[in-house]
């Protein structure tokens, strides 16, 4: 009965989905690129792009940085992003822009640059990557998705329609479970509930210790022994491609290791991380790329942090000054 049901579901999915099987593992990106960022880049014609995740948004003050450096800056921050999204942003938006920046400052945390699968799996992350990726981004499909799959997942992606469509089906189930009851009882639709949940349950309202523990747990993938082995992971990452793309387009990349307060969960982490950062610095130096490490700067103190990643508003200008001072050492 189970096999029969699965067979029927598979036939229905194949017929309705219009996809042939065996299927190529990995997501199918559409060809459209969201015009918001390309338009903004073209309009602003900035000297420098500041690329990163929420650390760029919440820890830095771009106007103050502009003033300190005497350059125009476009802050390109994607909350909850990491190297895959940065790579597609560089490849499909920044280097194709009619007004390319002179400098690309990438603010990263610890092993971000060599962990392509982090923050790439699942609905929200994948949709954001898709908004900047095209069908030609086979490297992304391979490195971020297919390389992370085990044999069983690859086989399921190829030959098992229900598995391929599970995210879509789950989203539909999720929608049905999330919204109707609230709509019926409180006259509040999807947007209204999403805003309410974001307002109330946002990490900003969490207990700081629990939030840090949660972040540390989620980010364990950045601190596995493999992730902390730079030499073993660099060729699986987008770092060589980011450097190549920048060089080919006369953009000077500058990599900045940001200061955060990681709650170490394994004794080996700080030791291996120090070795990782040494190897990263050597690699970037060998490729003629600037590397700045503000991770140990004493001017940013532990008490400046609201959680392990983000600082209190009162410390933003100091964090910005630390970055400005570091950038001045490598800018002409």
Partner 1 sequence: MTFTEYDFLIFFLVFFSAYWLIKRKSWQNLLLLAASYIFYGWVHPWYALMLGLSTLVDYALALGIARNRARTKWYMALSLLFNLGVLCFFKYYNFFNEGLFQWLTSLGIQADVFIVRSLLPAGLSFYTLKKLAYMFDVSRGTLEPSRDLVGFGLFAAFFPQINAGPIDRAQKLLPQIQSERTWKADYFYNAWPLIVMGFFKKVVIADTIANYAVIPIFNLQHPTPLMLGSAALAFTVQILADFSAYTDLSRGVALLFGFETSENFNAPYQSLTPTEFWNRWHITLSTWLRDYIFFPLRRTLLRSKVQLPAWLVDALPPLVTMLVSGIWHGVGWTYVLWGGFYGVLIVLYQALGLGGSWKPSNWLTRAFAWLVMFSMIVVSFAVFRASSLQWLTGILTSGLTVGSPEQRMAAIFSLSIAIIYSLPLLLKWQMERKLPKDSFLHEVYFVAATILMLIYINSTATDFVYFQF
CB of 1 to partner 1, least distance (A): 5
- Single out the residue of 142, 146, 206, 236 in contact with partner 1 (rule: CB under 8 A): 206
Question: Which residue lies nearer to partner 1 by CB, 19 or 306?
Answer: 306
CB-nearer residue toward partner 1: 214 or 318: 214
Report if residue 147 touches partner 1, rule: CB under 8 A: no
Stretch touching partner 1 by CB under 8 A, among 51-59, 135-143, 185-193, 309-317: 185-193
Of the candidates 314, 59, 26, 312, the one whose C-alpha atom is nearest the C-alpha of residue 148 is: 26
Count of CB atoms situated within 10 Å of the CB of 229: 16
Is there binding between residue 314 and partner 1 (CB under 8 A)? Answer: no
Element (H, E) at 253: strand 252-257
Residues 157-176 that bind partner 1 (CB under 8 A): 162-163, 166, 169-170, 173
Out of 31, 70, 124, 205, the residue judged to bind partner 1 by CB under 8 A? 205
197 binds partner 1 (CB under 8 A): yes
Q: Helices 166-178 and 123-132 meet at what angle, rounded to 10?
A: 120
Neighbours of 192 (CB within 10 A): 14
Q: Which of these, 146, 133, 148, 143, lies nearest to 25 by C-alpha position?
A: 146
Q: Give which of 8, 224, 202, 223 is closest to 109, Cα–Cα.
A: 223
**Under the criterion CB under 8 A, does residue 185 sit at the interface with partner 1?**
yes
- Per CB under 8 A, the list member of 18, 177, 296, 329 interacting with partner 1 is 177
Written as six digits, the tokens of 246 are 């920048």
Residues 83, 28, 244, 221: is their CA dihedral positive or negative?
A: positive
Check binding of 152 to partner 1 (CB under 8 A).
yes
Under rule CB under 8 A, residue 155 binds partner 1: no
Closest CB to partner 1 among 224 and 321? 224
**Inter-residue contact 328 to 290 (CB < 8 Å):** no
Does residue number 6 form part of the binding site for partner 1 (CB under 8 A)? yes
Backbone phi and psi for residue 123, each to the nearest 5 degrees, phi listed first: -45, -65
Q: Give the nearest distance from C-beta 199 to partner 1 in angstroms.
A: 5
- Of the candidates 269, 313, 294, 315, the residue with the CA atom closest to the CA atom of residue 52: 294
Binding of partner 1 by 8 (CB under 8 A): no
Among 14, 188, 281, 306, binds partner 1 (CB under 8 A): 188
What is the C-alpha separation between 86 and 150, in angstroms, rounded?
25
Nearer to partner 1 among residue 98 and residue 124 (C-beta): 124
42 vs 196 by CB, closer to partner 1:
196
Position 19 contacts partner 1 (CB under 8 A): no
**Smallest gap from residue 214 Cβ to partner 1 (A):** 6
Residues of this chain, 65-124, that bind partner 1 according to CB under 8 A = 121-122
The CA distance from 252 to 238, in Å, is 16
Rounded CA separation 87/238 (Å):
7
Going by C-alpha positions, the residue among 112, 60, 123, 56 that lies closest to residue 84 is 112
Instruction: Give me the residue label for tokens 């699965």.
Output: 6
Site string for partner 1, 214-243 (x = CB under 8 A): x-----------------------------
Q: What is the CA radius of gyration of the chain?
A: 22
- The residues that touch partner 1, with contacts defined as CB under 8 A, are 1-2, 5-6, 9, 121-122, 150, 152-153, 162-163, 166, 169-170, 173, 177-178, 181-182, 185-186, 188, 192-193, 195-197, 199-201, 205-211, 214, 267
């Amino acid at each position: 009965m189970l096999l029969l049901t699965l067979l029927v579901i598979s036939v229905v999915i194949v017929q309705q989905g219009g996809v042939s099987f065996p299927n190529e593992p990995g997501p199918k990106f559409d060809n459209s690129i969201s015009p918001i960022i390309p338009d903004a880049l073209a309009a602003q014609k900035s000297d420098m792009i500041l690329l990163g995740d929420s650390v760029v948004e919440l820890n830095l003050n771009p106007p103050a940085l502009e003033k300190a450096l005497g350059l125009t800056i476009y802050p390109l921050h994607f909350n909850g992003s990491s190297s895959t999204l940065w790579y597609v942003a560089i490849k499909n938006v920044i280097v194709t822009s009619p007004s390319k920046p002179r400098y690309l400052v990438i603010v990263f945390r610890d092993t971000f640059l060599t962990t392509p699968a982090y923050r790439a799996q699942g609905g929200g992350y994948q949709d954001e990557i898709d908004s900047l990726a095209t069908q030609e981004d086979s490297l992304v499909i391979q490195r971020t998705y297919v390389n992370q799959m085990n044999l069983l997942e690859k086989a399921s992606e190829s030959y098992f329609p229900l598995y391929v469509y599970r995210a879509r089906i789950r989203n539909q189930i999720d929608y049905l479970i999330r919204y109707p009851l609230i709509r019926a009882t409180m006259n509040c639709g999807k947007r209204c509930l999403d805003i309410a949940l974001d307002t109330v349950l946002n990490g900003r309202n969490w207990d700081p210790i629990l939030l840090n523990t949660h972040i540390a747990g989620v980010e364990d993938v950045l601190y596995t022994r493999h992730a902390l082995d730079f030499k073993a992971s660099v060729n699986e990452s987008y770092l060589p491609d980011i450097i190549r793309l920048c060089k080919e387009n006369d953009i000077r990349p500058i990599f900045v290791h940001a200061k955060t307060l990681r709650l170490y969960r394994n004794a080996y982490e700080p030791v291996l991380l120090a070795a990782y950062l040494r190897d990263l610095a050597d690699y970037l130096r060998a490729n003629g790329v600037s590397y700045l490490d503000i991770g140990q700067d004493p001017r940013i103190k532990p008490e400046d942090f609201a959680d392990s990643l983000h600082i209190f508003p009162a410390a933003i200008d100091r964090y910005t000054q630390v970055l400005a001072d570091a950038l001045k050492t490598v800018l002409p």
